[in-house]
Each structure stands twice: as structure tokens, then as C-alpha cells.
Amino acid sequence: MTASDRRVRIGTRGSALARWQAEHVASALMAVPGAPDPDLVLIKTEGDRIQDVPLSEVPGKAFFTKEIEEALLGRKVDLAVHSLKDLATEMPPGLTLGAVMEREDPRDVLLFSPSLSQGESLSQGESLSYQKSLSSGESPFSPEDLPPGAKVGTSSLRRQALLARWRPDLEIAELRGNVPTRIGKLDDGQYDAIVLAAAGVKRLGMSHRISAYLPFEFFLPAVSQGAIGIQARAGEADIMEWVGGLEHADTRAATTAERAFLRTLEGGCQIPVAAFGECGEAGLRLRGRVCSLDGNRGVDGEIGGPPEEAERLGRDLAEELIRGGGEEILAEIRAVSNGK
């Protein structure tokens, strides 16, 4: 394919966040010399259709990507844009991760319900102000402002386990839907608070809804959280050249280590696993955590090394956690998963 032949078709889910990400990639491609103009192709995935089942109970691991990958393999689209955390660590033959774009804020955030944010449900009747500025990255509340017994919504096993470990007094409830849908359920009073990825909230221009950032010492993010992955067919040199201009080397190294960590641990089932890699002057630092489903037990670790050895670092850290008690936790999770 050459730039004069046809436009480049970008496959994406149709949610507001997915479209934002695809449009972000399209805009970046338009600045690449010689790249053809992009068109978005909206594709509905199994994860979009099945909204009444917890994510942990949906069979398979590609429920937000499978249909898009099939369209890419079937040449119905030329590129696919994903939240990298949704993309399986093992790709179908013939596909490759053409580029990883610079990461947005990787943290998890709490959004309080309107009544809670106005102080109506807080312990001791204290009224909190929403007047603090978010422009400096400050949030109006602390995570500790959640009152005992507050109902907190999330669909993530990782978030459920970490919430249970951090605040066993909270009521943790299943929450499905795209970002605006989840916020709508919060505003309807179905939850006292919900947990979302900061990246998605910020990309949709809803930073003002962030009530508190969850601290890294308790809440390492999901693998690749905040990063956008661009998938392509292997061996298509022209597309790979255009897409390569969107690559962010530090984010690639960090997420490569995180994905290798998850791949080594996962063993075919979903697990409460968290990881975060970051590149600095001393090289690549990777932190990782494995939790039991109820959050009562966890194994943590950290490793560092050259960014070009990201894959090895991820594997080594996973193996260290397995030896340090993670194997027993993983065995229990697999037993629960196989019993569903």
C-alpha cells in the first residue's frame, strides 16, 4: 500500500474513550510525512455486547480486542488502536505491536458521588469543599475521606483485591460499562464512589470529576494502564514505517517489562496482578504485585536493569514473586477459575 493508493483504515471500538484514542492516533499519523489520510472504522467487540456479566466471568482474554484483530487479519482495516492494557500479551499469528505511544497518567482514581462530594454522607457530618484547584494535579479529597461501609464500584479483579486489602470496611460492587456510563451510574446514586483509570478520565476532559488519586504504595496500576497500543499486520513495511514515528521508547520499554511480567504469571486465567515500569537515568525500574482474590494476601517485588532487557526483567520479577509465595496464590485463583 502506498499513500497514493487509498486511505489508511483504523479499527477501533466505538466508545467515547476508544474513539478519542483512535482520533489521537489518526491526528498523529497525519503529521507523519508520506502517511495516507486516516479513516476510522468502528467495530463492536464481545466486551461491548456483554454488559451483564462480570469481566472476570467472561470467557477468553480478548473480549475487547478479538473482533478488531479479526478485521485486521481479514484486511478490513489496516491498523487497530487499543488501550494497551486490553491487549493480550500473546497476539494472534500475523499481528504485531507496531507502536506504543507515550503513556498518560497511569494511576487509579476515585470519583465520589455528588452527595458524597458535597459532604452529605461523610462521617461526623463534615462538609468538604470542591474548591481546590485540579490544575496543579491536586485532588479535592483524600482516599481516606471515603466513609466506612461506602459502596465502591469497579469491574477489575485487581482493583477489587487492592481495595479489599486497603479498606476491608468498604462494600465493593461490580461495575460495567464505558467511562460515561459508569459515571452516570455513580451520579444516579448506585454507588458512593467508583474507581477508574486516571488516563481515561483525563482523555475525556473529565479531570474535574476526580475526587482523589489512589496512592501507588497501595494501588500499583494494571499492566500497561494509560498506554495506547497500535496493532498492525506483520511484514507490512510501509505501514510499520508510518506507525513507527509514533513510538515512545520509554513507554515501550516499561510496558514490555509489565507485559512480560503478566505473561509469565497469568497461566491462562485472570488474576489480580499489578505492575508499573518506569525509565530513568538509572535504567528501567519495574515494580510488581500479586494479590489473592480477597486481598488478604499479596506478594510484592521490584527489579531494575537496562531498558533493552525489559522482557527479561519482567520474566525475572514474575519468577521471583512465584518463588516468594505467589505460586500458592496463583494455584488458588486457578482452582476458583476452573470451578466457574
Distances (CA, A) of 198 to 108, 114, 123, 137, 161: 5, 19, 26, 11, 19
Catalytic residue among 5, 48, 86, 238: 86
Read off the C-alpha cell for 146.
471515603
CB count within 10 Å of CB 20 equals 18
Question: Taking Cα atoms as reference points, which of 140, 120, 121, 138 lies closest to residue 130?
Answer: 140
**Residue 198 backbone phi and psi in degrees, to 5:** -55, -40
**H or E, element range at 284:** strand 283-291
3-state class (DSSP) for residue 307: helix
Round to whole Å and give the CA distance between 27 and 33. Answer: 12
Instruction: For Cα atoms 160, 47, 194, give the angle at the middle one, nearest 5 degrees.
Output: 35
Instruction: For Cα atoms 53, 227, 184, give the angle at the middle one, nearest 5 degrees.
Output: 45
Does residue 86 have an active-site annotation?
A: yes
Q: Name residues whose C-beta falls within 8 Å of residue 27's C-beta, 6 or more positions apart in sequence.
A: none
3-state class (DSSP) for residue 81: strand
**Catalytically annotated residues:** 86
